[in-house]
Structure 1
Amino acid sequence: MALGATGVVNGYSRGGSQNNLSLSTSILGQFGHSSKDFLDYTAFNITYSQILPDGLSPFLFDRAVDTKTLSAGFSQQIYGPFRLGFQTLVNLDTRKEISTDYILEYSRRSYSLLLRYNPALQLGSIGFRVNEFNWTGGSETFGGSGVSPITNGVQRQSE
């Protein structure tokens, strides 16, 4: 479970302002580890968000419109490193879908390649992601370069 809060303050040259406080709560889950070749990883997420607006932007494109939303996503390992999933966003006031992406992912321990398509926007993308893989090992310094690894903050050397 995760909780979030974001505040945005906008001031405009003609004296107007629009301030928004966005609050969200999420439930995230995962089953499996992709250690087997077939259907050994399932991930899901559900997020409720609400924006508390104050003021109104003079620009239509900048206004907070979708003030209550529900986002949901699902990813399933199909075979080996291949996963298939979706991510959708719904306006709870109008009960209308805002956006849905369908995702095919090739996921390795250190990186992922993603193909994403949104039919409503007729928009697709190819993505490359470097994954965190919790490196805890040491490394040797670069010989003769004067460069050394820094652990736990800034290292000060006396001359």
Structure 2
Amino acid sequence: MLKKLFGGNKSVEEQIVAPINGKVVSLDEVDDPVFSQRMMGDGVAIEPDDGKVVSPVSGEIVQLFPTNHAVGIKTKSGVEVLVHIGLETVSMEGEGFEGFVKTGDQVNAGDHLITFDMDLVKEKAKSTITPVVITNFDDVVDNFDPSYSDGADAGQSTIATLKTK
């Protein structure tokens, strides 16, 4: 009752846009139990068409792995989104990856984050499939609506809508 009177914790709707051009699929299709069994959280995955990664949300870069194969962004409402480029790409030790942001940077949805050499990832890693995961899903998400597509456009196409708790 007090929350209603004083405007306490209101649910916020967040749009997550494609961080990369490609086909949006369920995490069930990711050949890695950490993602397919949602151990890190829920989300979607993208089978990329190219090697340019943009921010899926507006917020703060809270983590950029030294190898530039993954980046975490936190929105103002507290949703934490991880973009993990490919599977077993950490073993490439940064080869073929270039980051354009650093921890603490403020970004808008669609801002350029990382570029990677897709041919090199195909050659040296397990897969190019790119999970996009809400890492604090259980703590902040009340409703999650993924949007699968054969042709998502980076920075443009909504791949998921969620409401915060």
More helix by share: 2
TM-score exceeds 0.5: no
Structure showing greater relative contact order (alpha-carbon pairs closer than 8 Å, 6 or more residues apart): 2
* Length-normalised TM-score, structure 2: 0.20
- Scaled by the length of structure 1, the TM-score of the pair is 0.21
Q: Which has the higher strand share?
A: 1
